[in-house]
């Protein structure tokens, strides 16, 4: 019966896998071992695995400097039997031992969601989205910086590559994270997901500007806008984390939602709570667009005046609620 | 003709008599009837503000400005009043009646000087020499000679224009003619020998109304009634007027609709390289009624702005247009204790004549005076692609009915199509 030895890193991810059919396997740093390890705390001839007459594998420490362990803090003093799948340590180096009859988990079917997310790494699509994000930025510059302020134009345009670099930083961090943890960076899919998120966000904001104007800055539109933004952030980060992490789906969703909430709260503006001086100033919606963007039907002057009477009543009521 | 000659002779005689009573004599005679009015903070006993007051011939009555004693009227638990006479005598004062619109207060005193002031019932002639008395900056009682120059032009609240230095601390002091009779009460200064006085007939009216209803000493109620009556009178005049319109950008806006609303204008059309051209006009009744250090009312202000950017794309234009209406605020001073927060509505309104405007209307109520409000209105025209007219007004201390009527008249007067 053959024996399989997995050499693990500090995160217990497999770095090497060996299979032997002999009855004795030597482990250590010296080159005459069967499994040559390179951890500096391991002795040249550190330990050996031997199979007894019954076919049982035993681990024996060869009087090593830092000891061998099956349980933490209990160095082996004599040969100990091993079960298939058992973890043992040579010094700090973790190894796992398997029988060749050890059951493996059944094959995973292709995950449609993962396939879909991986398809976000399509280079052509990423370039297209990148172009869209750049155009959207340029459109905003054009809206607010008329031509004669050339200096401001060129400065803002020069900032665009920097902006793109910052935007690619997030997928890069995620790729690095997943490279460390599961050997797969998946940078392009992460980049694709990030730019899809940004593009959807831009479209959403644009739509909301029109809706906000059309419904006269109604509170519901404001909530819709914030809710939509929260949802987009959650989906974007959820997709990012789905590819980058190997934790349970529930945890991924919770982390994505938490971070999205944080981003939304930050964009809602903490100034709202701290700016006392503005409390006496009237708060109103000042959105203005050309009249063809108004999707609602305007109120008549009479209706507006009637609603003004309501304001007087509300204010008069507030007056009696002395603090 | 002979009658005129007779008048002239009489006038000459009076002038001669007047010159006989010199300034030194006047001051010597009336100085004892002048008191320094001090507002003391009860907790610390320190002076919080000072002014001047003068003793009337009517028993135990002292006159000063409302703004001198306002803290003691509004916060009787925190502040008290005290007088200091020229002979260093001190004593307590109690406010009996106030007229916030004319900034006058009648105060009870136990101080009994020999000479007392009486009120002149006739108007002085233009150019007559008057003497303003008071205690500027706590430097001691002084006399300032000056000239009577009639009533302040364009002012809604009648004020005598006195060419003479009225300084801080002289507020509430009398201005007398050569015979020593009170023609006005020092109230304000615009610097450089420009002083303003409350005419004696306002004092006469306050005295009469006090004597009629001697028992009603509920001062906040008095103030509320005075504010309400004052705005009622002012707005009935404004609303009844036939509003003159002036050309403004693509349309018309109200001009100086009543004599006491004055207008100015400015634009960046010539000087600025900005592609967004702005023409602005402001109109206001800028005199306010003082209620406390943090609270004033009674102003009316109208503003018009015409923005046009022929070189701008409509989206660019509207982006800039929107920034121009991003903030608006009341133009009277008020604190959280005086007013509620603004309640606003903001809608695109189609007016009766078919023009469209994004219209913002905000209201806040006065906490201590029922049925009075500050109102803010802002409308931005939406019927053009590359130009817009912003019309804006703020009213302070106005009733719901008057505010609504004014808003209606105003929005109908502003045209841009």
Q: Residue B394 — very low, low, confident or very high, per pLDDT cuts 50/70/90? A: very high
| Average pLDDT of the residues in B305-333 | 90
Q: Could you tell me if A96 and A85 are in contact, meaning their C-beta atoms sit under 8 angstroms apart?
A: yes
Q: Is A284 near chain B, with CB under 8 Å?
A: yes
| Average pLDDT of the residues in B185-213 | 88
Residue B7 has a pLDDT of: 44
Comparing CA positions, the residue from B328, B349, B344 lying closest to residue B392 is B328
Cβ separation B342–A283 shorter than 8 A: yes
B268, B317, B349: best to mutate for the A interface, most A CBs within 10 A: B349
Report the range out of A236-245, B51-60, B385-394 with the highest average pLDDT: B385-394
> At residue B215, does pLDDT exceed 70?
no
Q: Is A282 near chain B, with CB under 8 Å?
A: yes
Residue B350 has a pLDDT of: 94
Q: Read off φ and ψ for residue B241, nearest 5 degrees.
A: -70, 150
Cβ separation B316–A308 shorter than 8 A: no
Q: Residue A267 — very low, low, confident or very high, per pLDDT cuts 50/70/90? A: low
Cβ separation B358–A304 shorter than 8 A: no
* Closest Cα in chain B, distance from residue A288 (Å): 5
Chain A residue with the nearest C-alpha to that of B345: A284
Q: Is B128 near chain A, with CB under 8 Å?
A: no
Residue B228 has a pLDDT of: 95
Q: Read off φ and ψ for residue B295, nearest 5 degrees.
A: -140, 120
Q: Residue B12 — very low, low, confident or very high, per pLDDT cuts 50/70/90? A: very low
Q: Could you tell me if B306 and B278 are in contact, meaning their C-beta atoms sit under 8 angstroms apart?
A: yes
Q: Could you tell me if B364 and B373 are in contact, meaning their C-beta atoms sit under 8 angstroms apart?
A: yes
A147, A209, A312: best to mutate for the B interface, most B CBs within 10 A: A312
CB contacts under 8 A, A 41-80 vs B, are none
- Rg of chain B over Cα atoms, rounded to whole angstroms, equals 25
B343, B378, B383: best to mutate for the A interface, most A CBs within 10 A: B343
**Least confident range of A156-170, A171-185, A243-257, B385-399:** A243-257
Count of CB atoms within 10 A of residue A151's CB? 9
pTM for the model stands at 0.81
- Both tokens of A199, joined, read 């593009």
More confident residue, A98 or B25: A98
- On chain A, the residues whose CB falls within 8 A of the CB of B295 are none
Q: Residue B356 — very low, low, confident or very high, per pLDDT cuts 50/70/90? A: very high
Q: Read off φ and ψ for residue A3, nearest 5 degrees.
A: -120, 140
Q: Is A142 near chain B, with CB under 8 Å?
A: yes
Chain B residue with the nearest C-alpha to that of A210: B315
More confident residue, B237 or A73: B237
Bridge partners (DSSP) of residue B202 are none
> At residue B317, does pLDDT exceed 90?
yes
Residue B189 has a pLDDT of: 82
Chain A residue with the nearest C-alpha to that of B350: A300
pLDDT, tens digit, 9 for 90 and up, residues B124-157: 889 999 999 988 888 888 888 999 998 887 888 8
**Least confident range of A43-47, A299-303, B45-49, B392-396:** B45-49
Which DSSP letter does residue B92 get?
A: E
| Average pLDDT of the residues in B297-304 | 94
The helix-helix angle for A187-214 and A123-144 (nearest 10°) equals 40
Q: Could you tell me if B342 and B323 are in contact, meaning their C-beta atoms sit under 8 angstroms apart?
A: no
* Cα pseudo-dihedral B222, B225, B230, B233, rounded to 10: -140
- On chain A, the residues whose CB falls within 8 A of the CB of B408 are 301, 305
| Average pLDDT of the residues in B44-70 | 90
Q: Is A227 near chain B, with CB under 8 Å?
A: no
Nearest to B364 among A148, A315, A322 (CB): A315
- On chain B, the residues whose CB falls within 8 A of the CB of A318 are 340-341, 343, 365
Q: What is the mean pLDDT of chain A?
A: 87
B342, B356, B379: best to mutate for the A interface, most A CBs within 10 A: B342
| 3 state DSSP class of B285 | strand
- On chain B, the residues whose CB falls within 8 A of the CB of A314 are 343, 363
CA distances (Å), origin B405, targets A317, B122, B225, B352: 22, 39, 21, 15
Q: Is B220 near chain A, with CB under 8 Å?
A: no
Residue B17 has a pLDDT of: 46
Cβ separation B382–A294 shorter than 8 A: yes
Cβ separation B326–A298 shorter than 8 A: no
Share of chain B above pLDDT 70, in %: 94
* Closest Cα in chain A, distance from residue B314 (Å): 7
Cβ separation A299–B349 shorter than 8 A: yes
In angstroms, the CA B250 to CA B417 distance is 7
- On chain A, the residues whose CB falls within 8 A of the CB of B343 are 311, 314-315, 318
Comparing CA positions, the residue from B192, B202, B100 lying closest to residue B151 is B202
Residue A274 has a pLDDT of: 55
- On chain A, the residues whose CB falls within 8 A of the CB of B378 are 284
| Average pLDDT of the residues in A26-37 | 95
Alpha-helical segments (H) within chain A: 112-119, 123-144, 150-182, 187-214, 219-244, 249-268, 271-274, 301-320
Cβ separation A305–B407 shorter than 8 A: yes
Q: Read off φ and ψ for residue B352, nearest 5 degrees.
A: -55, -35
> At residue B3, does pLDDT exceed 60?
no
Nearest to B344 among A283, A289, A318 (CB): A283
Task: Annotate B327-347 with DSSP letters as a single string.
Answer: ----SS---TTTBPPPEEEEE
Answer positive or negative: Cα dihedral of A36, A39, A43, A44: positive
Pairing label, strands B47-55, B61-64? antiparallel
CB contacts under 8 A, B 301-330 vs A, are 309, 311-312, 314-316, 318-322, 325-330
CB contacts under 8 A, B 333-352 vs A, are 334-336, 339-352
Secondary structure element (H or E) that encloses residue A96, with its range: strand A93-99
> At residue B18, does pLDDT exceed 60?
no
- On chain A, the residues whose CB falls within 8 A of the CB of B382 are 288, 290-291, 294
């Amino acid at each position: 019966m053959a024996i399989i030895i997995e050499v693990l890193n500090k995160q217990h991810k497999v770095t090497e896998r060996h299979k032997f059919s002999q009855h004795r396997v030597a482990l250590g740093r010296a080159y005459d071992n069967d499994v040559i390890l390179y951890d500096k705390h391991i002795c040249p001839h550190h330990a050996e695995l031997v199979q007894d007459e019954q076919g049982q594998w035993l681990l024996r420490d060869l009087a090593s400097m830092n000891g061998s362990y099956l349980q933490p803090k209990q160095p082996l003093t004599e040969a100990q039997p091993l079960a298939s799948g058992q973890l043992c340590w040579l010094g700090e180096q973790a190894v796992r031992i398997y029988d060749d009859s050890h059951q493996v988990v059944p094959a995973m079917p292709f995950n449609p969601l993962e396939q879909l997310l991986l398809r976000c790494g399509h280079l052509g699509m990423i370039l297209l989205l990148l172009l869209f994000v750049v155009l959207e930025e340029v459109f905003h510059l054009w809206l607010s910086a008329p031509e004669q302020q050339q200096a401001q134009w060129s400065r803002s345009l020069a900032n665009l590559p920097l902006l793109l670099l910052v935007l690619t930083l997030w997928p890069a961090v995620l790729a690095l994270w997943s490279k460390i943890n599961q050997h797969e960076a998946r940078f392009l899919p992460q980049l694709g997901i990030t730019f899809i998120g940004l593009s959807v966000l831009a479209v959403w904001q644009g739509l909301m500007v029109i809706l906000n104007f059309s419904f006269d800055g109604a509170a519901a539109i404001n909530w819709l806008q914030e809710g939509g933004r929260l949802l987009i952030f959650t989906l974007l980060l959820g997709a990012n984390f789905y590819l980058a992490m190997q934790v349970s789906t529930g945890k991924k969703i919770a982390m994505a939602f938490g971070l999205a909430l944080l981003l939304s709260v930050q964009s809602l503006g903490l100034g709202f709570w701290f700016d006392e001086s503005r409390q006496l100033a009237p708060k109103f919606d000042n959105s203005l667009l050309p009249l063809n963007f108004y999707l609602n039907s305007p109120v008549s002057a009479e209706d507006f005046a009637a609603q003004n009477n309501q304001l007087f009543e509300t204010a008069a009521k507030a007056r009696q609620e002395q603090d | 003709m002979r009658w005129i000659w007779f008048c002239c002779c009489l006038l000459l005689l009076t002038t001669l008599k007047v010159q006989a009573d010199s300034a030194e004599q006047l001051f010597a005679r009336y100085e004892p009837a002048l008191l320094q009015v001090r507002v003391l903070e009860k907790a610390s006993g320190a002076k919080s503000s000072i002014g001047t007051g003068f003793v009337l011939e009517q028993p135990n009555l002292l006159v000063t400005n409302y703004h001198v004693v306002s803290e003691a009227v509004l916060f009787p638990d925190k502040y008290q009043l005290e007088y200091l006479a020229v002979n260093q005598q001190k004593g307590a004062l109690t406010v009996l009646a106030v007229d916030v619109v004319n900034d006058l207060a009648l105060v009870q005193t136990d101080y009994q000087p020999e000479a007392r002031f009486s009120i002149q019932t006739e108007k002085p002639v233009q150019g007559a020499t008057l003497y303003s008395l008071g205690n500027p900056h706590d430097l001691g009682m002084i006399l300032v000679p000056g000239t009577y120059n009639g009533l302040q032009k364009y002012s809604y609240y009648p004020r005598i224009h006195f060419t003479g230095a009225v300084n801080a601390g002289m507020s509430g002091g009398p201005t007398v003619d050569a015979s020593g009779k009170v023609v006005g009460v020092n109230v304000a200064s615009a610097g450089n020998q420009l002083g303003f006085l409350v005419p004696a007939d306002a004092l006469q009216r306050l005295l009469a109304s006090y004597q009629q209803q001697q028992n009603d000493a509920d001062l906040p109620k008095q103030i509320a009634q005075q504010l309400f009556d004052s705005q009622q009178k002012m707005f009935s005049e404004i609303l009844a007027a036939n509003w003159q319109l002036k050309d403004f950008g693509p349309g018309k806006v109200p001009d100086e609709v009543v004599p006491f609303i004055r207008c100015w204008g400015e634009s960046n059309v010539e000087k600025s390289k900005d592609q967004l051209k702005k023409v602005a006009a402001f109109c206001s009744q800028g005199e306010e009624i003082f209620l406390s250090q943090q609270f004033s009312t009674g102003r009316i202000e109208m503003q018009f702005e015409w923005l046009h950017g022929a070189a701008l794309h409509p989206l660019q234009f509207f982006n800039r247009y929107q920034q121009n209406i991003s903030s608006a605020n009341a133009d009277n001073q008020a604190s959280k204790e005086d007013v509620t927060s603004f309640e606003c509505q903001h809608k695109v309104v189609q007016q009766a004549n078919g023009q469209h405007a994004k219209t913002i209307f905000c209201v806040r109520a006065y906490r201590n005076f029922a049925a009075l409000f500050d109102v803010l209105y802002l409308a931005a025209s939406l019927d053009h692609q590359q130009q817009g007219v912003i019309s804006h007004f703020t009213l302070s201390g106005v009733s719901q009915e008057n505010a609504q009527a004014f808003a209606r008249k105003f929005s109908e007067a502003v045209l841009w199509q």
